[in-house]
A and B are shown apart, each in its own frame.
Chain A
Amino acid sequence: MSTVLVLMEDGDPSLQALTLARTFGEPRTVRMAAVEPFAPNAVAAVLEMAADELGAVAVFAAGSDRGNDVMARLAARTDLPLAANCIAATPGDPVALTRQRWGGSLLEEALLRSPRPLITVAPHTIAAIDRGAPPEVDVAQLLARVDPKDLVVRVSEHVAPPGGGVSLAEAKVVVSGGRGVGSKEGFAIIEELALLLDAHVGCSRVVTSAGWRPHSDQVGQTGTKISPDLYIACGISGATQHMAGCKGAKRILAINADAEAPIMSLADYSVVGDLKEIVPAISAEIRKSR
């Protein structure tokens, strides 16, 4: 059976990529951490050498920041096409695949014509099947052959996150505000509810563009993708840009004055009315119940 090469990072997205890769052949893996400190051009060089030595019929990686970065470099150095953020792919010539557009709000069916298909797999779109860890490529002798030029781009320092608290991406509960909050000061009631729920404050793109909240609070296609147990969207219309960031939530509660806003039919629960009355009333009810 033919060999496929898979670039592995820690975490589930790489296991999902591995699962799709197995439908193309017998997998062998290279670890993203093979080059420390991280140097994306060097990882791409190692992948190219490993793929050539193994005669790999395809190369896969997770559609993570680093996965897409390194695979694009491999594509550039080998002058091959790259299909990023795929959710399905069928071996053949051409490869028939389905990939995400608009952060997953739209799907594209495409044909990939390449002697060596390069594919990244959109995180959390296919179920990982655990069939044990495939053999790793021995990278020591490949590393020795990396051109020093490919080490020019490398991580020189890691700046730790500002201390305390869970990140927006990992929060169990997120309370978000949108245009309907009306102002920077309007977020006081959102913050109050978030504090009571031990939740992270989030917001829509309109809010960060207006400078009411920092971009690090933005939930959306160009902000943070979240998957909390409960997402509370206050005064947010539910544009596709926003839903691309919060569709991973287990439950969505939408609070909006406009009963016809898109989010009011995309959520699990809805409350129609003025968030400036409803949000403080929920906070008061939580206090009362304690």
Chain B
Amino acid sequence: MRVLVCVKRVPFTGGKMVLNAESTALETKHLGFTISPHEECGVEEAVRLIESAGGESVVLTLGPQAAVEQLRDAMALGIDRAIHLQTDGREADGQATAAAITEAIRSDEAASGPFDLIFFGSESADAGGYQVGIRVAYALDRPCVTGLKGLKVEGSTVRCEQDAGGGRDAYVVPLPAVVTVKEGLNLPRYPSVPGRMRAARKPVVTSTPIRAEARLEMVRLAVPGGPGRKTELLGRGADAAPAVVEMMRKAGVL
């Protein structure tokens, strides 16, 4: 079995959104970076599938030079090799991102055979476009199920479950397929020290796709304003309990 997982490098945002001077990006000087949360579950699922079925797992990202850090993170968890579509750091819109990824998949498949499953996150933590996985699936003419919280490969099909109406909707689609996953699909493992050492030696193939013009063009970012909430200190320590209960009574929840 061959599986591909596509990930995006995003900053850890912490408690406050701080923008750069031009208001065109988050100020990330003091921030660490991570694989976007939903995609961490895609990486974990890909590793588990290959552990049980055998075969090869590949991780792909479109992002700046520094995004190789997220590719190494994925390989430390057990992914075999990486494809880095390197950018100058400017963001690409959903269409341009999907086009670059589709081309990279076609070229890898021409050399190494088709991927049975391709994982994306449901949406990236930062841009939240909800579309790259679906666009790639259409371009490759493969079935796509989104927002998975459950996945099981059954022979030549995959059973996919997504949250719906408090329960789950299930789909069974033939392989090869594209899926987009959500956090909660699994509980990702932590990288081991030997895993990190092995990851440093695993292959990363780098190319630089041409950046298509954005048809959805970001102009500037803004931190939502509004008055916010006015905080009332009800007290310190256990002595605050009567004031808390009084507040609950006024709020009508007791």
- By a beta-carbon cutoff of 8 Å, the part of chain A in contact with chain B is 38, 40, 65, 68-69, 72-73, 75-77, 79-85, 94, 100-114, 120, 152-161, 167, 172-173, 197, 205, 208-209, 211, 215-216, 218, 221-223, 229-230, 237-241, 250-254, 261-262, 264-274, 277-278, 280-282, 284-286, 289
Contact = CB atoms under 8 A, between A and B. Distances in A.
Interface stretch (B10-18, B71-79, B105-113, B192-200): B10-18
Interface stretch (B55-63, B81-89, B201-209, B217-225): B217-225
Interface in B208-253: 215-224, 228-242, 244-245, 247-248, 251-253
Interface residue range, chain B: 35 or more
B244 to A, nearest CB: 5
B67 to A, nearest CB: 19
B94 interface: yes
Smallest CB-CB A-B distances: 6 pairs: A215-B184, A262-B15, A281-B238, A76-B138, A273-B237, A72-B131
A191 to B, nearest CB: 17
Given A72-B134, A264-B231, A268-B232, A156 B171 contact: yes
Interface stretch (B1-9, B45-53, B160-168): B160-168
Contacts of A111: 216-217, 219
Main secondary structure of the interface of B (DSSP, over half): mixed
B201 to A, nearest CB: 28
B19 to A, nearest CB: 8
Given A84-B129, A156-B171, A269 B221 contact: no
Contacts of A271: 233-237, 240, 244
Contacts of A108: 218-222
A107 B221 contact: yes
A268 to B, nearest CB: 5
Given A85-B128, A153-B143, A253-B247, A272 B221 contact: no
B132 to A, nearest CB: 9
Given A81-B93, A158-B165, A278-B240, A269 B234 contact: yes
Contacts of B222: 106-109
B138 A237 contact: no
Contacts of A238: 15
Nearest to A114: B215
Contact of A101 (B127, B135, B237, B253): B127
Given A65-B147, A81-B95, A266-B229, A241 B13 contact: yes
Contact of B245 (A209, A215, A241, A286): A286
B131 A84 contact: yes
A85 B122 CA distance: 14
Contacts of A277: 237-238
Contacts of B161: 159
Nearest to A241: B13
8 contacts: A81-B216, A113-B217, A158-B168, A239-B15, A240-B17, A253-B234, A269-B231, A281-B238
